[in-house]
Structure 1
Amino acid sequence: MGEEITQKPMYQQIALDIARRVVNGDFQAGCKIHGRSTLAGEYNVSPETVRRAVILLQDMDVVSVSHGSGITINSQEEACKFIDKFKDMESIASLKMNLDKLFEDKKEIDSNLANTIEKIIDYSDRLRNISPYNPLEIEIKEDSMVVGETVSSVKFWQNTGATIIAIRRDKDIILSPGPYAEFRAGDVIVVVGDEGVLKRVKVFLNV
């Protein structure tokens, strides 16, 4: 019997094996196969297990059973349908297992994400309490005097004492912009400095 059915109950494995033997031509339509006791010995199971396998095949019209005549093969076509039915059941079971695993993975990811966010918030709070240099984001308005100018030309550091660590422009982020970086309307500059410095930046940019 194939490895793909080893996880099924034994009577289903036996039923599938008999159906495959019918499809492969080992058992021809109309022929009689061994009695339950002989099949039980062949598959090394109890007669009751074989009985359940035969009932399964009988329900799908793969075989017929009559008292005194034994087990008769009915149809190769029905044997194919029987095998296809179990393939569909295997596919559904496999998809369900994959879905269950994805849900478990999602729970773990959500848990890790929540823990990471909590740590970031915690670290941010600690840094805010111990460091006087908190980052500040300020948007450059269209009427700002710095629009079209560079960091150097407006003498940004000399006038404010603040250090620009980044400029957010639409979806782009310019890290550590140099003295020739140009200010544009809508830019969001990220600066660091103490409380007094940040106030001077707001005044300088007329925010």
Structure 2
Amino acid sequence: MTNLLYVTCNLSSQNRSCTLSLGQEFLDEYLSWHPQDEVQVLDLYRDIVQRTDEDVMNVWRRTLREEESVALSDEERRKVTRIWRLADQFARCEKYVFVTHSINLWFPAEFKMYVDAVCVPNRTYRHTPEGMEGILPKLQRRSLHLHAGPPVPFGSEQDLSVPYLRAILKVLGVTDQETVLLHDDAPEKGPEAEQEAARQRLLKLARSF
């Protein structure tokens, strides 16, 4: 059995979002081909993520100084326990599906908060003389990122979401990555040919993902 983590970050309803509707089609097709696998779902607008604040940063600094034996305050423990739960869930999974869209050339804030919550020192990564290094168990990890870019162009500037997530996942040890892009998340605005091409690619990926 394989564990798949399915993460969405979109305020729209499924019938008003190309990424959410296509993502659900992918998930249904995936489960028809992999019925024995376990799927865990996170909706980052529904499942509140603890932000990285001063209490959390204080714990991280002590962790990096190997002061984990120092007692945590009740507030520190409450906050980092919520983050540890998300980091441990991420570490247990071998496959990841991220369904997102762009706001002002990047992810919604809730998605960045989630990335911060799974990047935990001495839990999913460690600092080395060469820099940050993932310490997840050496499993064959795969990811699929279904992402809709900004609905209007920002001049010549490019959306930064996809390269950012690819870089973070690579550091954590997720090197087998697939990306499916749309130019708009609204069903009535995106080109129908693009949406159908994305749909067909996702259905094909679902069989072997």
TM-score, normalization by structure 2: 0.22
Give the structure with the higher percent helix. Answer: 1
Higher relative contact order (CA 8 A, sep 6+): 2
Give the structure with the higher percent strand. Answer: 2
TM-score, normalization by structure 1: 0.22
